[in-house]
Structure 1
Amino acid sequence: MFKKVVIKNMFNFLFMVMVCIPEWSHALTVDTLTYGSFGKVVIYHPETAPKAVVLFASGDGGWNLGVVAMAKQIVKEGVMVAGFNIRHYFKSLQKQKVGCYYPAGDLETLSMTLQKKYKFKQYMKPILVGYSSGATLVYGALSQAPANTFKGAISLGFCPDIELNKTLCNGSGLSSHVLKENKMYYLEESKKLTAPFIVLQGVADSVCSHKTSLDFVQNCGQFAEMVSLPKVGHGFSVPKNWMPQFTAALNKIVNSPSYAERMNGTPLIRDYNNPEESAPENLPLTIIPSAEKEAKSLLFFISGDGGWTGFDQSLCKSVASKGVSVVGLDAQKYFWNSKTPARAAADIGGVIEHYMQLWKVNKFIIAGYSFGADVLPFIISDLPAELSQKIEHSYMISPSENADFEIHISDMLNFGSSSDTYDVIAQLKKMANLKPVCIFGDEEEESTKLNFIRAGAEIVVLPGSHHYNNDFEKLSNVLYKK
C-alpha cells in the first residue's frame, strides 16, 4: 500500500543528507538528516539495539528546548527516536496541490528510510509520539492509516484541532469538520482505531483542556486511553512528573500483540528475527480459515510493501467468507531483505503444499497486491511444474511494470539495497498458460493498464484507485465466485 500512495511523489520527497553530530561523549549518539517534507530530522540512538522506533512530532515551538529534552528522556528507554519540526512539515504540506493531507504515508516512508539506513534486520512498525500540535498530528496519522501501519501513538498535551489550510484525508478511519475554513479543522473521535492511542494529559493544562481531551478519548473506542498527570500543565517541563507514565505507555504499546496475533489467524511463525532461515515454516504468515467447514479452495495472497495491513486482512476475510481458506504472506517482513525469485518460489511453494494437504484441497489460487502483484509472475514461473499445474486462478492486483525482490525506498537513496529490477511486462509475455489476470482501479494510470493489455494479460477494471474504495466484497468476487 505504501508504494502506490507515496511513490508517485517520491522524487519530490527524497533529498537526504546525513550528518553526524557528536553531542554526547558516551555511547548515546545523535545524527541529523534532511528528508523531504520533514526538513531536518534529528535521530537519537540508544546505547543498545533499539527495541522500538519512535517518530516524534514537535509542538508549534519547533524541534528545540522542551521536545529535545523529552527525546533525550525517551531514548533512555532503549528506543530510537527521530524528531522533526512540525512547523517545517506543515509549511511543506501546504505547498502540495492536493485536496487533503496524508501524513500517514510520509511517516511510514520516513520510518522505512531510517530502518533501511541503519540496517535493521527486520522492519519495526513505528510508534508515533507527538507533543501539543504534534499530538494532534500523530492522532490523525494513526486514524487515517490502514491497520498495522503503526504500532501505536502517544500524544502529550492533546487537542483535537489542527491548524492547516486543508484537513487530513479520511483514509481508513478519520473524519473531520471545519472550524475556520482554510485555517483550522477539528479531527473527530475515531471508533475505528486498530492500534493503541494513549494520551498523557496534564490536569493543569490551560491550552488543551483536560476535560475536553478526556471526553474525546472516551469516545474513541477500546484502543484509546487517557492518563491524567496531576502535576503537569501543558509544558511537560519536569520529567519526574510524566516520564514514569510515558514509560508505562511506551512499554504497553511495545508489548501489545501484533496485528496478526489479534486477527484470529494463526501465524505459522511466532518470531521472524532470523531472515537467513530458509525453512518455509519461518515465513511471516497470517492464516484465515474458510468460513465453511470444508474449504473449497486455498488462496495464497502476497501483501503490498506496507506489510499485512487492514486492506489485506479485510480483502482476505471477504474471500474466506466464500468458503476459501487463505494463507497471507507479509511482504514487508519477508522481502525486507533481498530474495531471489527462485528462493521466494521455493518458500511459498512449500507453504502452499503444506496447507493443501492440511485442508485437503487439490487446487489453489495465488494472488498479490501492489508489490506482491509485481513479484507474482516470477514466483509462478519458478514453482515446481507439478505444483503450478494445480493453480486454479492467479491475480495481480494493481501491478507495476517493474518488480523488486527487496523492500526499499528508491535506488536513489543508495542504501545498499539490491539494484536488480525485474521487467514484469516481459515476464508476462513469456507466460503462456499461467498468465495472471490483472486488476486495476479505474482511477489508476491508463498507460500502465495499456501496457499490460499489450502483454496479453486479461484486465479487470473496478471502481476506485489503489484501494478500490475499500469495496472488499466487489474485489473478492473477482478473486473467487461461489
Structure 2
Amino acid sequence: MRSNQRWTLPGLALLLLCALPCAHAAEDSLHYGLFGMVHVQRPPAAVADTILLLSDAAGWSAREDALARALAAHGARVVGIDLPTYLQRLQAIGEPCSYPAGHFEELAHWIERHEGDADYRTPLVIGRGSGATFAYAMVAQAPAGTFPALLTLGWDWNFSLPRAICPGDAGAITRIGADARHHVVATGDFPGEWLPLPGAHLADPARAFDNLRQQLDLPPPRLLEEQAVEDVGVTYAHWREQQDADPVALPDDIADLPLTEIAPSAEGDGRIAIMLTGDGGWAGLDKGVAASLAGAGMRVVGFSTLKFFWQKRSPEVAGKALARILAHYAKAWPDAQFVVIGYSFGASLVPVLVNRLPATLQQRIDRGIMISPDADAVFEIRIGDWFGGAHHEGSVPVLPLIALSPIPLTCIHGNDETDSFCKPGQDARLGVLGLPGGHHFNGDYAALGDAIIEVLQARASAQP
C-alpha cells in the first residue's frame, strides 16, 4: 500500500536486532514509530492470527490486558495499541487528512517480521470504546482484504478528530460537525466482516445505540462490560473456527502457492488473467479489477506477492512459480490464451518473470499489463516500502527487460502520479495508457478493469 506520507520508523532498529526468529516471553512491550510502546501478548502454542487491539480513550489499562489475555488463550498474538499515544502522534503529521490504515498495516507487517513468522497473516482488528469507533474508521479506509474482520466492543458516539481521515475505497469516513471537528460516519460498503459487540462506557447507552442501529446497523446491546472479556474471546474463537472450516483447496501441483481463483461470471473468449498483486496482497484494487474482468468472461487467478515474497526469492524461483501457474491452467484449458497483469510491486515483475518462461508458455500469453509499476523489480517485501523508506539489494531494472520482452506490454498509470514509470516513447514494445487519479485510480477499479478489457480487445481485433 503506497502513501505519500513519510515518517521515521525507529522500530526498524529493533527489527534489525531480531532479524532471525527469536525466543519471546508470553508478554512483552516493544516500541514502534507512531505507536510508541505496543503491548504484545503471545499465545501458549502456535499463533493462529495476529490481532491489533486498540484501547479506549483513557489508554492501555488492566481491562485491555484482560482482553488481550483472553484472546491469546484462543491462539491469537495480540498487539495492543494505546489509542491516545497514537492519536497524538498522528495529529502531529502535517497532512490535510490522515491515512491510519497504512500505519496499522505496516505495524502488522513489522510485528510479524519481528516475530519471525514464516508466512504473513492479515490481521484482525479489535477496538474498545473510543478505540472501537476509530478502528471502524481505520478499517473502512483500508482496501478490502487488508483487514479480514473488525470486532468492536462498544462505541464512543462522541469520538471526534481534529483532522479528517482521508476517504478510502468505501468513500468518506469522517464528516465535519458544528464543533469544527471530524466525526466518524457510516460507510456504504464496509471492506471486511464486522462483528460489533455493544457494551461501551457511554453515559446514555440506550440513546446512543438506538442512533447507531439506525446509522451503523448495529444489533441491540447484549452484554455488560464485565462480560466483555469472555464474549470477545468466544467471538474470536468462533470466527477462527469458521475460517478453518471452509478452506479453499487448490490442486496439488499449485497448492503451495498463494493463489485466489475467480471464475468468470459471464460468457467470454476463454482468456485467463494471471494477476500479480501489489505489496498489499489480494486487496482492494486487485479484487476490483478481478471482478471487472470476471464480469467480461475471464477467469482470474490472483497471485499474492505479499505472501509469496514475504520470504526473499530469486528471480529464477519467482519465474518458475509463474511457469507452474501457467502450466496448470494451460493444461486445464488447452485452448485458452493468457494475459499476465501486475499492479505496483507485481507490475514491475511482469517483464522479469515472463522473460524467464519457457517458449512454449510465452506463446500462450497474449499480452502483459503493467499497472503503476516501479522502475525496478524487487523480490522481497521489506518493512518501510509503504512509506518510501526501503532500499532493495538485488533489484532488477525493468526497462532493459521490456526491450527483450517476447510479448507486447501495456503500461497503465494514474495521470496524477508524479513519479510514474509509464512514459510514452520509452520502448516500442511498451504501450502507455493514462487514466484519471493517482496510484489507486480514485478507487474506480471497474473503470480500470474496463480499460484493460479495451486494450485486450484492441489487440485481438488487430490480429489477422
Report the secondary structure of 2:190's partner residue. Answer: coil
Q: Which residue number corresponds to residue 213 of structure 1?
A: 209
Alpha-carbon offset, residue 308 of structure 1: 0.8
1:269 and 2:244 are equivalent in the alignment = no
Question: Residues 302-451 of structure 1: matches in 2 within 5 Å?
Answer: 302-410=276-384, 419-429=393-403, 431-434=404-407, 436-446=409-419, 448-450=421-423
1:38 and 2:27 are equivalent in the alignment = no
Which deviates the most, 364-373 or 70-79? 70-79
Separation (CA, whole Å) in 2 of partners of 1:165 and 1:65: 28
1:246 and 1:36, CA in 2 relative to 1: closer, same or farther beyond 3 A?
A: same
Separation (CA, whole Å) in 2 of partners of 1:64 and 1:213: 25
1:226 and 1:165, CA in 2 relative to 1: closer, same or farther beyond 3 A?
A: same
Q: Which residue number corresponds to residue 111 of structure 1?
A: 108
CA offset digits 1:438-478 (Å, max 9, x no partner) = 1110111246444x854563321110011112223332233
Q: Which residue number corresponds to residue 229 of structure 1?
A: 223
Alpha-carbon offset, residue 110 of structure 1: 0.3
Alpha-carbon offset, residue 226 of structure 1: 5.7
Separation (CA, whole Å) in 1 of partners of 2:69 and 2:43: 10
Separation (CA, whole Å) in 1 of partners of 2:451 and 2:408: 16
CA offset digits 1:140-194 (Å, max 9, x no partner) = 11212111111211222312443211122220225332224543x3322234124
Aligned with 2:232 (options 222, 243, 246)? 246
1:359 and 1:373, CA in 2 relative to 1: closer, same or farther beyond 3 A?
A: same
Q: Does the 8 Å contact 2:106/2:386 carry over to 1?
A: no
Q: Which residue number corresponds to residue 21 of structure 2?
A: none
**RMSD of aligned alpha carbons:** 3.1
**TM-score of the pair, normalised by structure 1:** 0.83
1:52 and 2:49 are equivalent in the alignment = yes
Separation (CA, whole Å) in 1 of partners of 2:393 and 2:28: 26
Letter in 2 for 1:388: Q
Separation (CA, whole Å) in 2 of partners of 1:443 and 1:291: 32
Q: Which residue number corresponds to residue 273 of structure 1?
A: none
Report the secondary structure of 2:164's partner residue. Answer: coil
Separation (CA, whole Å) in 2 of partners of 1:370 and 1:391: 20
Alpha-carbon offset, residue 14 of structure 1: 5.0
Question: Residues 148-167 of structure 1: matches in 2 within 5 Å?
Answer: 148-167=145-164
CA offset digits 1:271-313 (Å, max 9, x no partner) = xxxxxx9x43432222222334454311111111111113212
Q: Does the 8 Å contact 2:53/2:127 carry over to 1?
A: yes
Letter in 1 for 2:97: C
1:296 and 2:282 are equivalent in the alignment = no
Q: Which residue number corresponds to residue 448 of structure 2?
A: 475
CA offset digits 1:364-399 (Å, max 9, x no partner) = 111101111122111111111121122211111011
Report the secondary structure of 1:439's partner residue. Answer: strand
Letter in 1 for 2:223: L
Letter in 2 for 1:254: R
Q: Which residue number corresponds to residue 20 of structure 2?
A: none
Q: Which residue number corresponds to residue 58 of structure 2?
A: 61
Letter in 2 for 1:363: Q
1:180 and 1:42, CA in 2 relative to 1: closer, same or farther beyond 3 A?
A: farther
Report the secondary structure of 2:352's partner residue. Answer: helix
Q: Does the 8 Å contact 2:144/2:283 carry over to 1?
A: yes
Letter in 2 for 1:90: L
Question: Residues 170-185 of structure 1: matches in 2 within 5 Å?
Answer: 170-173=167-170, 174-183=172-181, 185=182
1:124 and 2:124 are equivalent in the alignment = no
Q: Which residue number corresponds to residue 79 of structure 1?
A: 76
Q: Does the 8 Å contact 1:304/1:372 carry over to 2?
A: yes
Aligned residue-pair number: 443
Q: Which residue number corresponds to residue 287 of structure 1?
A: 261
Q: Does the 8 Å contact 1:165/1:181 carry over to 2?
A: no
Q: Which residue number corresponds to residue 463 of structure 1?
A: 436
1:54 and 1:412, CA in 2 relative to 1: closer, same or farther beyond 3 A?
A: closer
**TM-score of the pair, normalised by structure 2:** 0.86
Q: Does the 8 Å contact 1:345/1:379 carry over to 2?
A: yes
1:16 and 1:473, CA in 2 relative to 1: closer, same or farther beyond 3 A?
A: closer
Report the secondary structure of 1:320's partner residue. Answer: helix
Alpha-carbon offset, residue 218 of structure 1: 6.1
CA offset digits 1:235-256 (Å, max 9, x no partner) = xxx4xx2222111221233234
Report the secondary structure of 2:104's partner residue. Answer: helix
1:227 and 1:149, CA in 2 relative to 1: closer, same or farther beyond 3 A?
A: farther
1:161 and 1:168, CA in 2 relative to 1: closer, same or farther beyond 3 A?
A: farther
Separation (CA, whole Å) in 1 of partners of 2:10 and 2:375: 21
Unaligned runs of 5+ residues in structure 1 are 21-26, 233-237, 271-276
Q: Does the 8 Å contact 2:54/2:135 carry over to 1?
A: yes
1:85 and 1:445, CA in 2 relative to 1: closer, same or farther beyond 3 A?
A: same
Which deviates the most, 84-93 or 188-197? 188-197
Q: Which residue number corresponds to residue 186 of structure 1?
A: 183
Separation (CA, whole Å) in 2 of partners of 1:217 and 1:125: 28
Report the secondary structure of 1:140's partner residue. Answer: helix
Which deviates the most, 205-214 or 351-360? 205-214
Report the secondary structure of 1:130's partner residue. Answer: strand
